[in-house]
Structure 1
Amino acid sequence: MTSAKSSASGKREPQSLSAEQVCERIRSAILRGELKPGAKLTEQDLAAEFEVSRTPVREAIRQLEVERLVSRTPFVGVTVTRLSPEEVIELLDIREVLEGLVARLAAVNMDAAHLQRLKKSLQQLGASAKKGDVAGYLDHALAFRRVLVECCRSATLAEFVLAIENRLRLAGSRTAMLPGRMEAAIREHEALLDAVARHDGEAAERLNRERIQHIRDAVAKSISFSIL
């Protein structure tokens, strides 16, 4: 994480960051994997990193606790949350229901501009899968889902989906690396796109729920091999 800007003379200039800005920087570092599950966070170190007092850091940590991206343990302190396999399965069960509804609403509200964005994301998704580019694949899969969320036109649903999505990102990307998983996902996204393009909300919901069920099954199988 980088905390200070450089002036024309090359000297570092302190930034005045709000608690919200500090929270966003820590959150981004967690979601990008720069801060790994189990990593310890201290107010002193973070305040020094961002060149702020401990007050905005303390407020940021409280918000991240609410989001359950960090956890506070007696005699240990604050650490990046480490999800158990059971928690991952539970979150995927919830995600299945929420994103099924997203797909249904998105199919009803889909317009030409958003449909074009979905097609582009799917093309990029396929290209990344062919190259074995897991990071690119995950980025484009996320972009595909974000377009669907935009089209569902429900701020409340979008908020819940984002909260679950962020927590699941703590589990990493191991299921995408399972043999055949990316290729299967491409076919699932193609079928979903077809249903959405036809404005078939019922089919879109069923297909998106089935897609997430397949992810859940892959995670469940991976647990026995200590992948998560």
Structure 2
Amino acid sequence: MSVDENHMPSIRGYLSGRPTRGRTSEAVTDALREAILDGVLAPSTWLREDEIAATLEVSRTPVREALRRLADEGLAQKTAHHGTVVSPMSVEDVLALYVVRENLEGLAARLATLRNEPGLVVALREVQAQMEALIGSGDSAALSRHNITFHRLIREAAGNFYLERFLGQAEQAVRRLAPTTFSFPGRDATGCAEHAEIIEAIAAGDPDAAEEAGKRHMRNARGIRFTKLGGG
């Protein structure tokens, strides 16, 4: 699939204004990353330097650097003698992602409980209330946004730079898996119930229970993905 005019107008919207001097590569990287995560640039789409540069009205140099960075992040893939494409995601990739995320989310919940950062439980309960208010509404996009916030609060409270970095990358990969699991029947209620278990374990100061609740939450999400992808 080529990067064509149908994609370019949408991609241009991801680059707000003119990049400040010295930050063009970062701005182009951010624009392309968000377009990939939002599904505007679908898996296996060709990322041609000249077309992207023309669309974003920048030189090819920052585009080349952006593509290199996206390849390092796993969002793009260089092919021998043919250029760069948006990385595809197979069923195996999806399941492998959830196996890793299961353990990382569990660890994040454990560390967040042990650190006992002031205000964390209150913040989590606020997000939880917003999500519970949306149960049955069919607004899976809003539920997904709150869900991202919920998990971000926990990984930040864990206080581990590497864990936060790895979970951030895992979250980016999950964003590519449209539609969100919250669009599947009943997942809004069960997902919220699982969040409640994580919150109560953290509030009780029980790192073992928090870790297990975090891992169970990801296992259940993985099971939904597996079923919807035709795995059973």
- Residues 4, 50 of structure 1: 8 Å contact kept: no
Residues in 2 aligned to 1:48 and 1:130: alpha-carbon distance in whole angstroms: 44
Alignment partner for residue 133 of structure 2, among 127, 131, 136? 127
Name structure 2 gaps, 5 residues minimum. Answer: 1-11
**1:169 equivalent in alignment to 2:170:** no
The equivalent residue for 2:48 is 42
Q: What number of residue pairs does the alignment pair up?
A: 219
Residues in 1 aligned to 2:135 and 2:46: alpha-carbon distance in whole angstroms: 34
The equivalent residue for 1:208 is 214
Distance 1:14 1:203, change over 3 A: closer
- Partner SS state of residue 128, structure 1: coil
Identity of aligned residues (%): 33
Give the AA of the match of 1:96: E
**1:57 equivalent in alignment to 2:35:** no
Alignment partner for residue 67 of structure 1, among 67, 70, 73? 73
Residues in 1 aligned to 2:16 and 2:203: alpha-carbon distance in whole angstroms: 46
- Residues 4, 15 of structure 1: 8 Å contact kept: no
Distance 1:57 1:142, change over 3 A: same
- Equivalences for 1:70-81 in 2 at 5 Å? 70-74=76-80, 77-81=83-87
**1:160 equivalent in alignment to 2:155:** no
Residues in 2 aligned to 1:83 and 1:59: alpha-carbon distance in whole angstroms: 23
The equivalent residue for 1:8 is none
- Equivalences for 1:140-159 in 2 at 5 Å? 140-159=146-165
Give the AA of the match of 1:124: Q
**1:114 equivalent in alignment to 2:152:** no
Structure 1 window deviating more from structure 2 (170-179 vs 88-97): it is 170-179
Residues in 2 aligned to 1:53 and 1:174: alpha-carbon distance in whole angstroms: 35
Q: TM-score, normalised by structure 2?
A: 0.87
The equivalent residue for 2:111 is 105
Large movers: runs of 4+ above 6 Å? none
Over aligned residues, Cα RMSD in angstroms?
A: 2.0
Residues in 2 aligned to 1:4 and 1:103: alpha-carbon distance in whole angstroms: 36
Distance 1:58 1:200, change over 3 A: same
Deviation at 1:137, TM superposition (A): 0.5
Q: TM-score, normalised by structure 1?
A: 0.88
